Amino acid sequence: MKVAIQGELGSFSHAAALRLTPKAQIVPCAASLEVFEAVVKGRAGAAVIPIENSLAGSVTEHFDLLLSQPVCVRREYRLRIAHALIASPGTQFRQVKRVFSHPVALQQCREFFRENPQIRPEPFYDTAGSVKHILQQDLRDAAAIAGVHAASVYGGQVLRRGLEDDKRNFTRFFLLRPAAGTRPLPGADKTSIAFTLKNLPGVLFRALSVFALRDIDLCKIESRPMRGRPWEYVFYVDFRRGADQAMQNALRHLAEISESVKVLGTYPAA
């Protein structure tokens, strides 16, 4: 099966895709929209996207796309994120004056940059892509921050390991499939939904009560601004519950006080 990822080969998405779909043929895409469209238009059978990092928070663009695109969440996976400093073979640490990486990865290595003020962080579009860039250009004053997997994909040299500020650094990935005709996998015990609310007093409290009154516990809540309606929000909520009768009742109840409700997927909890 072809599996679309955002970013280059050697990225953390690549590593997660190999765990979720071990025999996948990886289809790298430049932009997140392209990844979703690959699934929707059938150029790939599935996609693997990062949705949330335990330090940096949500990948907000992916929340927006989950809402707007006809895809559904099939599985989740939690990957431990370890950042390495990777350079061209032969480059020594003291030669490194600038370090390329994705802004989120740079932000996760703040202590490394504080301890090495001679090194300037430079935002780049992708972690693995920054390794590819340095190797292709054979830059001698530069290194990249990425997973060690990227060093082996591009033939880079690992100068340092464990650059991340916090070792308890995980990224949660979703495996996405087209929404149409997909049934939850056996053992699916977690549900993600998105909803927008009518403008009523205490309406978010009422929305959460439809779950609390049925002993359905939420494990995450996230709000995202609605495009074109400043200071109004879409709410994204995860529950440790599959598509059972109580959940169906709660969603019907929620629809009474919502402008819109979308079930993003029911899947086995990681």
Residues designated as active site: 171, 173
DSSP-derived pairing of the beta strands 142-146 and 84-87: antiparallel
Q: Is 212 in the site for a copy of itself (CB under 8 A)?
A: yes
- Member of 60, 92, 137, 260 binding a copy of itself (CB under 8 A): 60
CB 87 within 8 A of CB 142: yes
Contact 81, 128 (CB under 8 A): no
Decide: is 170 part of the binding site for a copy of itself (CB under 8 A): yes
**Contact pick of 22, 90, 186, 228 for a copy of itself (by CB under 8 A):** 228
Distances (CA, A) of 181 to 63, 72, 76, 195: 22, 10, 19, 22
Give the nearest distance from C-beta 192 to a copy of itself in angstroms.
Answer: 14
Closest to 52 measured CA to CA, from 29, 72, 78: 78
The residue from 233, 249, 257, 268 that contacts a copy of itself (CB under 8 A) is 233
Least Cβ distance, residue 251 to a copy of itself (angstroms): 17
Stretch in the footprint of a copy of itself (CB under 8 A) among 15-23, 34-42, 177-185, 214-222: 214-222
What Å distances lie between residue 206 and 94, 210, 243, 254, CA to CA? 58, 7, 21, 9
Q: Interface residues with a copy of itself (CB under 8 A)? A: 33, 52-57, 60-61, 103, 107, 110, 123-125, 166, 168-170, 201-202, 204-205, 208-209, 211-212, 215, 217-225, 227-231, 233
